[in-house]
Amino acid sequence: MTSILFIEQLLNGIQFGTMLFLMSAGLTLIFGVMGLINLAHGSFYMIGAFCAALVAGITGSFWLALGASLCGAAIAGVLIEILIIRRLYRRDHLDQVLATFALILLLSEGVRWYFGAFPLYLSIPDSLNGTVPIFSEIIYSKYRLFIILMGFLIAVGLYLLITKTRLGIRIRAGQNDREMISALGVDISKLYTVVFALGAALAGLSGAMIGAIQSVEVGMGEPILILAFVVIVIGGIGSIKGAFVGSILVGVTDTLGRVFLPDLLKIFMQPAEATAIGSSIGSMLIYILMALILITKPSGLFGKS
């Protein structure tokens, strides 16, 4: 029984981790290439989810909704990059933090203005409803399995994009030496816009996919934004590989910690106390993990020191 529960929760952790990866991949790319801390990344998560809910409401199709989340967030990303973000690349981190924090206020309130304060709902398509047997007696939600698959597919796609394509070469070159590649005739400001839009689109997609399990509401991007920060700090800022390892690590630690820590503490504690202490430590676990990693490796697992 416990082992079934364990595998189920492990899968939940991986599912959470893959969604975290979609967020943190964009965040880490944007930081790696443009040197920008983008607190407003969570807003694209929210925008993606709202676009999906809107399109699903009109057309009734989940797949069109997913497409809408990608496009909507990418368009928002392009607009915001051209209007505001572009002016921040040369500024120091403090200005970037504040401007993107202000952007969160602007976008969250804007969405609340337009859509109202009530959460919207996005339903899972029938073909992904229900459960599917994995091993002999373990059954698991089809939709969550779909999320894991999507996450891994996108991770592979991103890997191919970065290592095999011309755009990927430019992105990597941009990470290493901005001035050199603009001297070689690459339109650097267009490249920045493309990278920003790519990051925004990935965030939007993950917002839509998570929005179907939870609800679509203003402020939904903030908790996951901060987790994505934890991920890229653990993985090393600028490293996609680090973002992937960090995401799975954080997703699994968080999920398993919350579920099993109270039970674990019950072995040598009063049940009521164990539940209280276990759940509060469980919710702090990833931050403790991050502190431990930073103490041993101040620039993260895969970061350049």
**Where on the chain is the footprint of another protein (CB under 8 A)?**
31, 37, 84, 87-88, 91, 93-95, 97-99, 101-110, 112-113, 222, 226, 229-230, 232-233, 237, 276, 279-280, 282-284, 287-288, 290-291, 294-295, 298-300
Q: How far is the CB of 218 from another protein (least distance, A)?
A: 11
The DSSP-derived string for 9-47 is HHHHHHHHHHHHHHHHHHHHHHHHHH----TTHHHHHHH
Place of tokens 């991920």: 231
Q: Between residues 141 and 175, which has the closer beta carbon with respect to another protein?
A: 175
Q: How far is the CB of 48 from another protein (least distance, A)?
A: 20
Q: Between residues 147 and 290, which has the closer beta carbon with respect to another protein?
A: 290
| Cβ neighbours around 84 below 10 Å, total | 15
Is 10:256 a contact under the CB 8 Å cutoff? yes
Is 128:143 a contact under the CB 8 Å cutoff? yes
Q: How far is the CB of 288 from another protein (least distance, A)?
A: 7
Q: Between residues 13 and 303, which has the closer beta carbon with respect to another protein?
A: 303
Q: Between residues 64 and 84, which has the closer beta carbon with respect to another protein?
A: 84
Using alpha carbons, select from 79, 91, 94, 83 the residue that is nearest to residue 39. 94
Q: How far is the CB of 236 from another protein (least distance, A)?
A: 10
Give the HSE-up count for residue 133: Cα atoms under 13 Å, Cβ half-sphere. Answer: 3
From residue 289, give the alpha-carbon distance in Å to each of 37, 136, 157, 253. Answer: 22, 34, 29, 9
Q: Between residues 86 and 142, which has the closer beta carbon with respect to another protein?
A: 86
Q: How far is the CB of 280 from another protein (least distance, A)?
A: 4
Q: How far is the CB of 46 from another protein (least distance, A)?
A: 14
Q: Between residues 233 and 252, which has the closer beta carbon with respect to another protein?
A: 233
Under DSSP, is residue 226 helix (H, G, I), strand (E, B) or coil? helix
